[in-house]
Amino acid sequence: MTRAPKNRSLDPLQGIATSPKSEEITTGDNPVADDITIRSAMLDSKVLSSLLEMESDSAYEIARLFEPWSTDELLELMQDQDEEIRRFGCMGVSNRIEPRALGALIAALGDPSQDVRVEAIFGLGELQDKNAVQPLCGLLKQHADYFEQLNVLVALERIGDSSAIPAIRANEESMGKKNTWERQRRLRALLSLGDKDALPKVIQSAEQGDVDLSQRRIAREACRESIEILGRFKIKEAVPIIVKALQNGWHPLRKEAAIALGEIGDRSAAMPLVNLLKGENQESVSACARDAIVKIGDVSVVDELVDMIRSDFKYSPSIRSYGKPAENAARTLLRFGLGSEVDGLLEGFLKRTHIHRVSQKLDESISALKVSDSRFLSIQS
């Protein structure tokens, strides 16, 4: 989790109003306003607020508009009485790889405004300087607001220094025995920094995936986060546990399990994913399962997918239809890239123009592939 995204206008510089800090200049009708005009207008709290209330991926695009600002000017902004201006200063110095920027951002961790503190945390993650590790860990020890702590974890992961492990571990242990999403987020940071002792706790949480979590909000969020972690770090020993989660009654957990199995790429998960496609009624889950099967790349499931098509369509002069399992199977086979002939049959099937040809030709085309495609030959050997 990073800074919370907020809505913004597409052109926040349009129509900057006259104000004491904008030097009584309006730039809305002047697209070629010089740097001084824009920079002066920017030092308006309301204008800055609208500029900073944007998605994090776009925020630094705005910062680039002010590259002419010197580090000294940005550091001065960080001392302003207005928190939006201090926040803008933090954003600007986050792109300055120099000791003064680092020191100013560390100092801003004690700012009275949470928005400024979060911006400083984010900036320290951007700089990726190991000297920021201990000040960031200090926020964890102080039990700062949970949103700030999550941003600290992101920053520490980006810096990647294992010296943060003791502080994160102590913070995680202070949460008691309750299994929550926030706790799993700390375990993810520990794993990212190389603490293998965190893995058993993540696996223990993921084992809840074979339990009906539909009415247990806290437990299900923790379970989903743990499965995401196991997929992110490609923990093969967790595959049987994640496979069980494919049968859970809560569809977001099935979706996360399918994604994780695709990331891990273990061939033993291919057939359980195919079986999921036979009865899944949530398209978002089906799409992730199809992606996972293709990522794993085990063509031994092709015959099963062909059987799904064969058993799930009806054809007559008046009826040309197929069910969701057949559609899932056809879309998955298309992603395998089995050649133009097979792809043509599958595309015609999905368009309901050549449904009858699938029954007649698909087996024949797949059989031909089995004696020529290296993927099939490697399985047979």
Provide mean pLDDT across the span 318-326.
Answer: 70
Short-list 336, 337, 309, CA closest to 323: 309
The amino acid sitting at 381 is: S
Give the pLDDT score at 6: 35
Residue 322, H or E segment:
strand 320-322
Q: Is the pTM of this model over 0.85?
A: no
Sign of CA dihedral 229, 232, 235, 241: positive
For residue 119 the two structure tokens come to 């911006």
The 10s digit of each residue's pLDDT in 293-321 is: 999 999 999 999 988 888 876 554 444 55
Contact 63, 95 (CB under 8 A): yes
Among 21-30, 280-289, 369-378, top mean pLDDT goes to: 280-289
Instruction: Please say whether the dihedral angle defined by the alpha carbons of residues 184, 186, 190 and 196, taken in this order, is positive or negative.
Output: negative
What is the tens place of the pLDDT at every residue in 154-172? Answer: 999 999 999 999 999 999 9
pLDDT band at 69 (very low <50, low <70, confident <90, very high): confident
Q: pLDDT at position 372, please?
A: 76
Asked if residues 144 and 118 have their Cβ atoms less than 8 Å apart, the reply is: no
Could you tell me the pLDDT band of residue 208, with boundaries at 50, 70 and 90? confident
- How far apart CA 86 and CA 370 sit, in angstroms, is 65
**CB contact burial 248-284 (16+ within 10 A = b; e otherwise):** bebeebbbbbbbbbbbbbbeebbebbbbbbbebeeee
Domains and CATH numbers, the chain: 1-174 (1.25.10.10), 177-297 (1.25.10.10), 299-381 (no CATH)
Q: What is the distance between the alpha carbons of residues 327 and 341, in angstroms, rounded to a whole number? A: 18
pLDDT tens profile 267-292: 999 999 999 999 999 999 999 999 99
Task: Say if residue 319 is exposed, middle or buried (CB neighbours under 10 Å; 0-12, 13-18, 19+).
Answer: exposed
**Phi, psi values for residue 112, rounded to 5°:** -65, -20
**Out of 47-61, 187-201, 236-250, which region has the weakest mean confidence (pLDDT)?**
47-61
Q: pLDDT-derived band of residue 355, with 50, 70 and 90 as boundaries?
A: low
- For 380, counting Cβ atoms within 10 Å of its Cβ (0-12 exposed, 13-18 middle, 19+ buried), the class is exposed
Cβ-count burial of 155 within 10 angstroms (0-12 exposed, 13-18 middle, 19+ buried)? buried
Half-sphere exposure of 80 (CA within 13 A, CB side): 21
Most confident of 15-19, 26-30, 39-43, 253-257: 253-257
Q: What is the mean pLDDT of residues 217-233?
A: 92
Q: Could you read off the pLDDT of 73-113 as tens digits, one per residue?
A: 889 989 989 898 898 889 888 878 888 999 999 999 999 99
Residue at token pair 């000791």: 99
Q: What is the pLDDT of residue 85?
A: 86
